[in-house]
């Protein structure tokens, strides 16, 4: 029987997938028990590293690894683990999940409205595609999906709004 001494807890264990994670065809040096103990720490370190890099780098990293991240989360065993975790969490406190949507909305009305207002404010300020397309629909009666596909129209209309804002701003002064 092949064994390995865990690099962290120094326990001798049978070298198998029950005891050690298999990464790219090789068993890693720390046993599963030790690795899993450090899981929250690793997740925290990763979050901190990404926070330090900033949102742009975060997005870049995601784009770069998107394929492998998505492939990972689609693996049957990963899906099963995720479902089991979800079930376990639900079993812990079913009442938490059984609040009817309407009741939740009623309770958090203020906060939901506030978030929505903030979202809209940013959308309008940045002249997001969704906002520009909505204005095109309102003023020119061109369906939103159609307007969004028309890059020239979108850019022209965006520039027009910018111009209007500039004029308003100058008139107020
Ligand atoms: Zn160990």
Range(s) of the domain holding residue 26: 3-37
pLDDT reported for residue 42:
82
Calculate ∠ Cα 90-105-84, nearest 5°. 15
Q: Report if pTM > 0.75.
A: no
32 CA from centroid of ligand 1 (Å): 7
Distance (Å) of CA 160 to CA 51, 53, 68, 113, 127: 37, 36, 42, 30, 11
The residue with tokens 């008139």 is 171
Q: Are residues 22 and 70 in the same domain?
A: no
Q: How many distinct structural domains can be found in the chain?
A: 3
Residues belonging to the chain = 173
User: Residue 12 contacts by C-beta under 8 Å, 6 or more apart in sequence?
Assistant: 3, 4, 5, 6
For residue 25, tell me if it sits in a domain. Answer: yes
Q: Are residues 47 and 17 in the same domain?
A: no
For residue 80, tell me if it sits in a domain. Answer: yes
41 CA from centroid of ligand 1 (Å): 16
Helical (H) or strand (E) element with 4: strand 3-5
51 CA from centroid of ligand 1 (Å): 30
For residue 85, tell me if it sits in a domain. Answer: yes
| Ordered per-residue pLDDT tens for the chain, 173 residues | 789 999 999 999 999 989 998 888 889 999 999 988 888 888 888 888 877 877 778 788 888 999 999 999 999 999 999 999 999 999 998 888 888 888 888 889 999 999 999 999 999 999 999 999 999 999 999 999 999 999 999 999 999 999 999 999 888 87
Q: Are residues 52 and 19 in the same domain?
A: no
Q: Are residues 86 and 133 in the same domain?
A: no
20 CA from centroid of ligand 1 (Å): 9
25 CA from centroid of ligand 1 (Å): 19
For residue 107, tell me if it sits in a domain. Answer: no
């Amino acid at each position: 029987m092949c064994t390995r001494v865990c690099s962290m807890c120094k326990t001798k264990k049978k070298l198998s997938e029950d005891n050690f994670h298999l990464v790219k065809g090789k068993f890693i040096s720390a046993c599963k028990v030790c690795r899993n103990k450090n899981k929250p720490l690793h997740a925290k370190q990763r979050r901190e590293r990404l926070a330090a890099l900033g949102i742009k780098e975060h997005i870049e990293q995601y784009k770069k690894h998107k394929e492998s991240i998505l492939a990972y989360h689609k693996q049957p065993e990963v899906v099963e683990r995720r479902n089991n975790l979800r079930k376990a969490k639900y079993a812990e406190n079913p009442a938490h999940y059984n609040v009817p949507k309407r009741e939740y909305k009623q309770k958090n009305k203020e906060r939901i409205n506030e978030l929505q207002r903030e979202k809209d404010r940013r959308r309008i300020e940045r002249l997001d595609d969704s906002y520009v397309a909505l204005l095109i629909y309102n003023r020119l009666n061109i369906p939103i999906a159609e307007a969004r596909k028309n890059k020239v129209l979108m850019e022209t209309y965006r520039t027009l709004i910018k111009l209007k804002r500039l004029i308003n701003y100058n008139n107020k002064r």
